[in-house]
Amino acid sequence: MINLELPKKLRASANQAHQVATEIFRPISRKYDLAEHEYPVELDTMAAMVEGLADSGTQKIGGAAGGREDDSESDAHATELLGNSNGGNMSALLNALETSWGDVGLMLSIPYQGLGNAAIAAVATDEQLKRFGKVWASMAITEPSFGSDSAAVTTTAVLDGDEWVLNGEKIFVTAGQRSTHIVVWASVDKSLGRAAIKSFVVPRDAPGLSVARLEHKLGIKASDTAVLLLQDCRIPKDNILGSPEVNVEKGFAGVMQTFDNTRPLVAAMAVGVARAALEELRAILTDAGVEISYDTPPNNQHAAAAEFLRMEADYEAAYLLSLRAAWMADNKKPNSLEASMSKAKAGRTGTDVSLKAVELAGAIGYSQRTLLEKWGRDSKILDIFEGTQQIQQLIVARRILGKTSAELK
């Protein structure tokens, strides 16, 4: 049984993240929404704080997936209530939720907390974890020819002596310009199909790696989103994550395991934005004299109050699904189904709640007097990256019906 009472250590970590969101992110949220591509210098202080907490053994504040590190005796006791053998994913999820409540674009810009770190945590060897444990890694999957169909990777990696040579173009790479390393998905043998897709850690200064441009976006403007070119880009032979062997029977389950870690995190980001919008909307409705009651049936309340209760129920469901997916990852349980369920529900809920809050708040919600309109713009990407709504529903259907990707497309 999963116990939803959070351990003290996780509550303390989440409280720290909430303080960062309140005192650092919220005050500068509008500033960097209006100054796209300008680096948030305030995050340098944030990076130093995260580094200090990591060195002291305290949980990370940012959102990179946590954990394959060994728990200390105190860590094991702290996670006892959840039954976690390793609370890294749960901690990362809660911290992602709290910091995204502050500003999801800034959360994605925290140095050394990139989504690529989750890929490293998911499939790296113990030796690679030691080498890449303190890098800032973004993740490069999407290409001009495909979006959510990860099996359609055309970027190639060819072994040349003691180096891999990578060629291809990656688009929509979050923190692609600022990160110190890029986790690149590439095929080592196109004739073997998806089984030959591997992930590689590419240092920022690797010869042949360049930033073609930065994207102008609807939301998360504080975060840089880059187009990367790999032109005869050379990296060391041992920078391939996990095993270099191609196992046709296993397919590319190894690299796909990354999503089992990152999708609950993105779900948590959407939950954080949804909670922020709900709290702001509640304050606006209260000021307008609209009472929200939990003792009266919704159909007997003000229409805005009934809508608020509906959205709050969706928020709670998304939150619990996200917790379950992270809990399963920490306890080494297969969570592909639950990860996609949480991502689908939270992504849909985040956009629904934030945009409905803009609508119910009227002119105040549509203006820049509050952050509601910003959250409405920010939330949409959380329903898209790490797999669209449609892809998540397809994965859920395959898992429930026991169908393969060839049988159910």
User: What's the pLDDT at 194?
Assistant: 85
**pLDDT one-digit tens code per residue, 321-373:** 999 999 999 999 999 999 999 999 999 999 999 999 999 999 999 999 999 99
Residues serving a catalytic function are: 386
H or E stretch at 186: strand 181-187
Q: Domain range spanning residue 346?
A: 252-401
For position 345, which CATH number holds?
1.20.140.10
**pLDDT one-digit tens code per residue, 96-153:** 999 999 999 999 999 888 889 888 888 889 999 999 988 999 999 999 987 666 668 9
Task: Please identify, among 71, 89, 118, the residue that sits at the C-terminal boundary of a domain.
Answer: 118
Residue 182 and residue 81 in one domain: no
159 forms beta bridges with: 164
Q: Please give the model's pTM, rounded to 2 decimal places.
A: 0.90
Q: Which residues contact 92 (CB under 8 A, 6 or more apart)?
A: 60, 62, 63, 64, 65, 66, 67, 118, 265, 326
Helix/strand/coil for 387? coil
Higher pLDDT, residue 212 or 80: 212
**pLDDT one-digit tens code per residue, 271-317:** 999 999 999 999 999 999 999 999 999 999 999 999 999 999 999 99
For position 227, which CATH number holds?
2.40.110.10
Rounded CA separation 116/261 (Å): 11
Cβ-contact 50, 128 below 8 angstroms: no
75 pLDDT exceeds 60?
no
Cβ-contact 186, 344 below 8 angstroms: no
Residue 161 and residue 232 in one domain: yes
Q: Is 165 domain-assigned?
A: yes
Q: Provide the mean pLDDT of the chain.
A: 88
Q: Which residues contact 103 (CB under 8 A, 6 or more apart)?
A: 21, 25, 26, 28, 29, 32, 222, 378
User: What's the pLDDT at 118?
Assistant: 82
